[in-house]
Structure 1
Amino acid sequence: MAAALEDPADADLSRLAELHGVATSYSPAPGRDVPVPASAVIAALAALGVDAAGPGAVRTALAVRERELSERLLPPTVVHWAGDPRGPAALTALPPGTRLRVRTEEGEERDGTWNLPLGVHRLTAAAPDGRTGHARLVVAPDRLPAPPGRSHGLLVQLYSLLSRRSWGMGDLGDLAELAGWAGRTAGAGFVQVNPLHAAVPGAPTDPSPYRPSSRRFPDPVHLRIEDVPEYAYVPDRERLNGLLERAERLRATVLDKGALIDRDAVWELKREALELVLAVPLGPGRRAAYDEFRAAQGQALDDHATWYALAETHGFDWHRWPGELRDPRSADTARARAELAGRVEFHARLAWLTDGQLRAAQRAAREAGMAVGIVHDLAVGVHPDGADAWAQQDVFAAGMSVGAPPDAFNARGQDWGLPPWRPDRLAACGYAPYRDLLRALFRYAGALRVDHVMGLFRLWWVPQGSPPTEGTYVRYDADAMLAILALEATRAGAVVIGEDLGTVEPGVRETLARRGVLGTSVLWFERDWEGDGRPLPPDRWRDGCLATATTHDLPPTAARLTADHVDLRDRLGLLTRPATEERAEATADAAEWLALLGSLGLLDLTAAGPPGTDEEEEIRAVHRFLLRTPARLIGVWLPDGVGDRRPQNLPGTWDQYPNWRLPIADRQGRPVPLEELTAAPRLRALLDVFTQAREG
Structure 2
Amino acid sequence: MGLARLAALHGVATSYAPSPDITVKVPDDTVVAVLAALGVDASTPEAVTDALTRAESTAAERLLPPTVVLWSAPEGERPEVPAALTGLPPGTTLQVEPEDGGTAPAPDPAPTTDPAAVVAHAPLGVHRLTARAPDGRTATVTLVVAPHQVPQPPPRTHGFLVQLYSLLSERSWGMGDLGDLAELAAWSGRHLGAGFVQINPLHAAVPGDPTDPSPYRPSSRRFPDPVHLRIEAVPEYAYVRGADREQLDALGEKAAALRASVLGEDALIDRDAVWALKLPALEILAAVPLGPGRRAEYCDFLAAQGQALEDHATWYALAEAHGPRWHDWPAGLRDPRSPETARARRDLLDRVDFHCRLAWLTDQQLAAASGAARDAGMAVGIVHDLAVGVHPGGADAWAQQDAFAAGMSVGAPPDAFNALGQDWGLPPWRPDVLAASGYAPYRGLLKGLLRNAGALRIDHVMGLFRLWWVPQGEQPTQGTYVRYDAEAMLAVLALEAHRAGAPVVGEDLGTVEPGVREALERRGVLGTSVLWFERDWEGPGQPPLPPGTWREDCVATATTHDLPSTAARLTGEHVELRHRLGLLTRPLAQEQAADRTEVGEWLTYLGRLGLLPGGPGDEEEEIRAVYRFLLRTPARMVGVWLPDAVGDRRPQNLPGTWDQYPNWRLPVADATGRPMTLEELAASPRLHRLMDVLRP
Deviation at 1:203, TM superposition (A): 1.4
2-side partners of 1:207 and 1:537: how far apart? 38
Deviation at 1:484, TM superposition (A): 0.3
Deviation at 1:92, TM superposition (A): 2.2
1:689 to 660, 678, 693: 693
Provide the residue aligned with 2:40 in structure 1: 50
2-side partners of 1:604 and 1:637: how far apart? 23
SS of residue paired to 1:192: strand
Q: Which amino acid aligns with 2:375?
A: E
Provide the residue aligned with 2:381 in structure 1: 373
| Residues 205-256 of structure 1: per-residue CA shift (max 9 Å, x gap) | 0000000000010000000000000011112211111101110110011113
Query: Do the aligned partners of 1:547 and 1:633 also contact (CA within 8 Å) in 2?
Result: yes
SS of residue paired to 1:586: helix
Deviation at 1:531, TM superposition (A): 1.9
2:660 aligned with 1:656: yes
Q: Which amino acid aligns with 1:268?
A: A
2:602 aligned with 1:593: yes
2:136 aligned with 1:130: yes
1-side partners of 2:635 and 2:168: how far apart? 30
Deviation at 1:258, TM superposition (A): 3.3
2:104 to 106, 109, 119: 109
Query: Do the aligned partners of 2:167 and 2:677 also contact (CA within 8 Å) in 1?
Result: yes
1-side partners of 2:104 and 2:374: how far apart? 39
2:631 to 613, 627, 633: 627
2:326 aligned with 1:326: no
Provide the residue aligned with 1:290 in structure 2: 298
Provide the residue aligned with 2:565 in structure 1: 556
Deviation at 1:604, TM superposition (A): 2.1
Q: 1:354-433 residue pairs with structure 2 within 5 A?
A: 354-433=362-441
1-side partners of 2:270 and 2:556: how far apart? 32
2:646 to 638, 642, 646: 642
2:471 aligned with 1:475: no
SS of residue paired to 1:678: helix
2-side partners of 1:260 and 1:454: how far apart? 33
Provide the residue aligned with 1:190 in structure 2: 196
1:617 to 621, 629, 633: 621
1-side partners of 2:183 and 2:100: how far apart? 40
2:444 to 412, 436, 446: 436
2-side partners of 1:132 and 1:86: how far apart? 23
SS of residue paired to 2:535: coil
1-side partners of 2:591 and 2:448: how far apart? 44
Deviation at 1:616, TM superposition (A): 0.4
SS of residue paired to 2:625: helix
Provide the residue aligned with 2:579 in structure 1: 570
SS of residue paired to 2:529: strand
SS of residue paired to 2:514: coil
Query: Do the aligned partners of 2:196 and 2:382 also contact (CA within 8 Å) in 1?
Result: yes
| Residues 107-147 of structure 1: per-residue CA shift (max 9 Å, x gap) | 23243421221000000111111111111000000011110
Query: Do the aligned partners of 1:16 and 1:62 also contact (CA within 8 Å) in 2?
Result: yes
Deviation at 1:12, TM superposition (A): 0.5
2:65 aligned with 1:75: yes
Query: Do the aligned partners of 1:103 and 1:110 also contact (CA within 8 Å) in 2?
Result: no
1:97 to 86, 91, 100: 91
2-side partners of 1:75 and 1:162: how far apart? 50
SS of residue paired to 2:683: coil
SS of residue paired to 2:17: strand
1-side partners of 2:60 and 2:86: how far apart? 14
Deviation at 1:583, TM superposition (A): 0.9
Deviation at 1:335, TM superposition (A): 0.4
Deviation at 1:268, TM superposition (A): 0.6
Deviation at 1:16, TM superposition (A): 0.3
Provide the residue aligned with 2:227 in structure 1: 221
Deviation at 1:605, TM superposition (A): 5.3
2:515 to 499, 507, 520: 507
| Residues 66-105 of structure 1: per-residue CA shift (max 9 Å, x gap) | 0000001011000000135432222222111111111111
2-side partners of 1:258 and 1:415: how far apart? 31
Provide the residue aligned with 2:590 in structure 1: 581
Deviation at 1:27, TM superposition (A): 1.1
Deviation at 1:348, TM superposition (A): 0.2
Deviation at 1:550, TM superposition (A): 0.2
Provide the residue aligned with 1:528 in structure 2: 536
The alignment's C-alpha RMSD in Å is 0.8
| Residues 244-279 of structure 1: per-residue CA shift (max 9 Å, x gap) | 111011001111343110000000100010010110
2-side partners of 1:204 and 1:672: how far apart? 25
2:155 aligned with 1:165: no
1-side partners of 2:373 and 2:447: how far apart? 20
| Residues 568-604 of structure 1: per-residue CA shift (max 9 Å, x gap) | 0000001110011111111111111111111111112
Structure 2 length-normalised TM: 0.97
Q: Which amino acid aligns with 1:677?
A: L
1-side partners of 2:562 and 2:508: how far apart? 14
Q: Which runs of 5+ in 1 are unaligned?
A: 1-10
Deviation at 1:31, TM superposition (A): 2.8
Query: Do the aligned partners of 2:37 and 2:407 also contact (CA within 8 Å) in 1?
Result: yes
2-side partners of 1:378 and 1:281: how far apart? 34
2-side partners of 1:69 and 1:31: how far apart? 34
Q: Which runs of 5+ in 2 are unaligned?
A: 107-111
SS of residue paired to 1:665: coil
SS of residue paired to 2:662: coil
SS of residue paired to 1:39: helix
2-side partners of 1:346 and 1:482: how far apart? 36
1-side partners of 2:28 and 2:591: how far apart? 38
Provide the residue aligned with 1:537 in structure 2: 546
SS of residue paired to 1:109: coil
2-side partners of 1:580 and 1:97: how far apart? 74
Provide the residue aligned with 2:109 in structure 1: none
| Residues 150-200 of structure 1: per-residue CA shift (max 9 Å, x gap) | 100000000000011100000000000000000001000000000000000
Deviation at 1:38, TM superposition (A): 1.1
2-side partners of 1:562 and 1:55: how far apart? 60
2-side partners of 1:310 and 1:634: how far apart? 44
Deviation at 1:300, TM superposition (A): 0.2
2-side partners of 1:57 and 1:149: how far apart? 56
Q: Which amino acid aligns with 1:33?
A: T
Deviation at 1:485, TM superposition (A): 0.2
2:493 aligned with 1:485: yes
Provide the residue aligned with 1:60 in structure 2: 50
Name segments (4+ residues, structure 1) moved above 4 Å: none
Q: Which amino acid aligns with 1:94?
A: L
Deviation at 1:149, TM superposition (A): 3.0
1-side partners of 2:656 and 2:46: how far apart? 42
SS of residue paired to 2:64: coil
Provide the residue aligned with 2:81 in structure 1: 87
Structure 1 length-normalised TM: 0.97
Q: Which amino acid aligns with 1:325?
A: L
| Residues 520-560 of structure 1: per-residue CA shift (max 9 Å, x gap) | 00000000112221110001100000000000000000000
Q: Which amino acid aligns with 1:557?
A: T
Q: Which amino acid aligns with 1:649?
A: N
2:21 aligned with 1:15: no
- Name the CA shift for 1:109/1:467 in 2 (closer, same or farther; >3 Å): same
2-side partners of 1:467 and 1:185: how far apart? 51
SS of residue paired to 2:481: strand
SS of residue paired to 2:139: strand
SS of residue paired to 1:500: coil
